Amino acid sequence: MKIATWNINGVKARIDNLLHWLSESSPDIACLQEIKSVDELFPREAIEALGYNVETHGQKGFNGVAILSKLPFDEVNRRLPGDDSDEQARFIEGVFSTDKGVLRVVSLYLPNGNPVDTEKFPYKLGWMERLERWSAERLKLEEPLVLAGDYNVIPEPEDAKNPDAWVGDALFRPESRQAFRRLGALGFTDALRAVNDQAGVYTFWDYQGGSWQKNNGIRIDHLMLSPEAADHLGSVTVEKHTRGWEKPSDHVPVVVDLKLNPA
């Protein structure tokens, strides 16, 4: 079963690329971030025509997450618990049936956190604390769980072409990286690093400064696997070629293949 994450950076602006990628890569479950669309205006019909069920948690103009699935949804949960005042659309969980039992998949869009001397950085860290608490509770279910999304965290220096350029940035601040490592300490596995320890693997290239042409990238899109999901880990692929398409997102899809089948 192929499960993918992709920050699409505006689903309406990238709909042709999205449809082409869904046809080409054919993930069983695709987690999208930064759809920048309210739920009722999400272009679901064209996606459903490819055989996908669509669930969204949208917001006008920015943020927004979605899960597209060839499997029927057994359950859908929107919003990360823990802060009733948080109205930003950054979290959606889908529950599915497989031949090994329940599978839970989350599409998440973690806050950027910049500038760090504003309220945005404490919001980022608070969001990560809420994610950690929620994840710890979900792990008690002992089910395959995939936390897929744009974490806006560069975990290690080898995850950036030029790590010195990111010192002090919210994506690379020690507090952000420590919060990401705490997910690992709970028992989650960074899927890509489980199969590939090489430097130079990136998922984001800025539109400015010729970053794509210079391969000046960073790795901030991650699939974190619960122990029960990691037990079924096959391969992980970064579909870098999509960054070279016309009108690309600044992120590329990351796809994990789990040895699970629909029920």
**Mean predicted confidence (pLDDT) in 57-79:** 97
Annotation marks residue 109 as catalytic: yes
The CA-atom distances, in angstroms, between 152 and each of 84, 127, 186, 230 are 23, 12, 19, 22
CATH of the structural domain 2-258, one choice from 3.40.630.30, 3.30.479.30, 3.60.10.10, 3.40.47.10? 3.60.10.10
Instruction: Please measure the distance between the N-terminal and C-terminal CA atoms of the chain and give it in whole angstroms.
Output: 12
Q: Is the model's pTM score more than 0.95?
A: yes
Catalytic residue among 150, 159, 169, 190: 150
Domain range list for the chain: 2-258
155 contacts 190 by C-beta, under 8 angstroms: yes
Tens of pLDDT along 18-64? 999 999 999 999 999 999 999 999 999 999 999 999 999 999 989 99
Annotation marks residue 197 as catalytic: no
**Mean predicted confidence (pLDDT) in 82-107:** 96
Catalytic residue among 39, 86, 99, 109: 109
Tens of pLDDT along 138-184? 999 999 999 999 999 999 999 999 999 999 999 999 999 999 999 99
Helices (H), the chain: 15-25, 44-48, 120-139, 174-186, 191-195, 211-214, 227-230
**Mean predicted confidence (pLDDT) in 249-262:** 96
Q: What is the pLDDT of residue 162?
A: 97
